[in-house]
Chains A and B, each alone.
Chain A
Amino acid sequence: MKTDTTLWGKLDNTAHLFPVIARRKTPNVFRESISLYDEIDPAILQIAVGQTLKSFSGFSVRLKRGLFWYYLEENSKPFPAILEEDEYPCKLIDFKDSNEYLFKVSYYKNRINLEMFHVLADGVGAKMFLKALIYHYLSLKCSDVAQLPGDDEFTLEREDGFQVCYNKSSSNKSNYSKLDALTIKGRKLPYNGLSVIEGSMSVKDVKALARQHNSSINEFLVSALVYSIYQIYYGENKPIIVTVPVDLRKFFNSTTTKNFFAMVNATFIPVNDDYSFDEVLLIIKESLKSQMVKENFKKTISYNVSNEQAGFVKWIPLFIKNLGIKYVYSSAAKASTITMSNLGLFALKAPYNKHVKKFSGMLPMSLGQNVKATIASFDDVLCITFTSSLRASKVQREFFRLLSAMSINIRITSNGENNVSL
């Protein structure tokens, strides 16, 4: 009798949502990119992906549909050929083209793009994979970095952080915002197009500016974004809510490469007539600080996991569960104006780091959010990337103008989707 050795695993708590809501307009595929100083060699990149997958076996999986839940199953198919980028970023992954892999690797000139379906990992998990990929690529390509760094550079943990940190005795009350937030609306780009506007600046300059305002870089940039939206929609008294994903690994001492994040909402409700940037910053700082505490995240985890583990929920067939998930998601989507995700610093060991120029990220569109922003940094280059499904780039313009007015030197590149205003 033959034995079945195919490995499989459950999705993490957050990942249950993504297969249900993934559509062409809301693909739930995010991108992380690394720009090197030299042009990319696709043949070497292909080998590097194969080598990386050997160490990150948790990423060699396909998504399958069970009777009650989706699950991940080992994928023994070869990784598809790596092609030059010729599509909009963050497109829905066609599982036929990707040999059922849940991520895609492409290149453009001197940039390597990793696009990942959120079911597999969050931004930090993808960053770990990308880091390993860069180490493998550079060790194959460059003669001065022939040796791979030690195992401490590769985290292979695939535990479900939510289940590990779940405490049954904690309160199971939802602490999600129920406010009806301001929506950034406008004429959409045709053919599900996605505009990309990327601003590069000095980390030191932004850090110094944030310090002047007595805040962290994250608080400062989120406030700048809120202030820009407030300026555009002046007079509309709807709450401006910036959703900020928070990496829970540092709060719960985890190193998992699966999804392990929670959302906090930086909320600004314009009550008075006129606000200065400093006033907005103060409100946003308070809003973020009040939510970025371990106790708050424990409550979120407890609420999410208890919903998943509820006896009756377990036995509801998947197609009925999906209807419920879609309903909850579409109601929750109203409570956010925009998302700003900070992927943090991409650190590489010497001498690898001297080959890398820039690290950047991109978020896909989601229900009710037509503009999103991602912050990423490498060395002294801070990269803020706006992705949008709208023709107009009002938010991006106000945001970069605001930073520029504060003496930040910004270099902008775009994919040209906003260059022609019709």
Chain B
Amino acid sequence: MGKTMYHCNNCDVDVDYKVCPLCHSATKKTDIENDLTGYPFVKIKMSKRAIASKMYLAIEAICTFILFAIDYHFFQTLTWSVVGFFSIFLGYIIMQIFFNSLPTVFAKISKSLLAATIYLFFLDCFLNINRGWSIEYVMPVFLIGETVMNFFFTVINHRSFQNYMIAQLVTIILAAFAFSIGANFYLSLIAIVLSVLLFASTLLFGGFKGVSEIKRRFHINPEE
């Protein structure tokens, strides 16, 4: 005979363990055979990513404190220490982007570039020197960079070229937006022209597969 069941007198139920899971009191052994399957003991494992992430946050907290203390003690202001804090925080965001389960390298690089652009925008707002450079220069440069990167990924990964089409469309919209809010005329024009050219040529060379992807993403006529 294998394992036997236990009985909890408080709850009047048969249980498969020495301690009743309902009332936590000790149970009495019975002669009834235990044929219940039960569940495995779960070992809690903290992933290396989680450990690295927590360590980074701890180091960031210490560094920020030191930066703030020095800045305030010697200069009686909080300017460059805030810049330092944002820079370390950008590192954390990029680490998170690369650690999390984003499906492609392209998505990881794109999001990191976007995070860096947003970081520069915040710096632009925070530092009172020649304000507006993030919109005027950084935004169109980011969009040009995004388009060039998209082109290389589309060529290298040409079998799955359709995966980059939505990013191309989003870049066109953002480039038009940058143009309309007063980004540098030539840079934003280059961003628009490059992104439109890339999308049009992908659609042209991609043929049916490209059109199909657009239909899927826009939810038109599922073929199920």
Contacts and interface: CB of A to CB of B under 8 A. Distances in A.
B39 A35 contact: no
Given A64-B216, A393-B21, A416-B21, A411 B101 contact: no
Nearest to B17: A419
Interface in A84-98: 84-89, 94-96
Contacts of A85: 39-40
Contacts of B15: 411-414
A420 to B, nearest CB: 8
A200 B11 contact: no
Interface in A361-410: 393, 396-397, 400-401, 404-405, 409-410
B75 interface: no
B223 to A, nearest CB: 6
B5 interface: yes
B37 A401 contact: no
Contact of A400 (B13, B35, B38, B43): B13
A139 interface: no
A7 B17 contact: no
Given A35-B37, A400-B13, A67 B22 contact: no
Contacts, number: 139
Contact of B16 (A71, A73, A195, A413): A413
A191 B209 CA distance: 44
Interface string B4-22: 0100000111111101111
Contacts of B223: 7-9
A4 B212 contact: yes
Q: What bracket does the count of chain A residues touching chain B fall in? A: 35 or more
Given A200-B36, A413-B15, A415-B39, A3 B22 contact: no
Nearest to A8: B216
B148 to A, nearest CB: 23
Contacts of B224: 7-10, 158
A110 B101 CA distance: 33
B216 A66 contact: yes
A197 B17 CA distance: 12
A108 interface: yes
B218 interface: yes
Contact of B40 (A71, A108, A200, A404): A108
Nearest to A197: B21
B213 interface: yes
Given A67-B218, A199-B13, A411-B14, A393 B22 contact: yes
Given A7-B223, A418-B21, A87 B42 contact: yes
Contacts of A96: 101
A109 B15 CA distance: 19
Contact of B101 (A88, A95, A393): A95
Given A64-B216, A419-B21, A108 B101 contact: no
Contacts of B43: 86
A298 interface: no
B42 A415 contact: yes
A405 B22 CA distance: 15
Interface string A128-165: 00000000000000000000000000000010000000
A68 B219 contact: yes
Given A2-B207, A411-B14, 20 more contacts: A1-B207, A1-B208, A4-B213, A6-B216, A7-B223, A9-B222, A9-B223, A66-B219, A67-B219, A71-B216, A84-B40, A87-B42, A94-B101, A397-B23, A401-B11, A411-B5, A413-B38, A414-B21, A416-B17, A418-B24
10 contacts: A68-B218, A108-B37, A108-B39, A200-B36, A400-B13, A404-B13, A409-B14, A412-B13, A412-B16, A413-B36
In the A-B complex, the 8 residue pairs with the smallest Cβ-Cβ separation, listed nearest first, are A9-B224, A415-B39, A414-B21, A397-B22, A4-B209, A4-B212, A413-B36, A404-B12
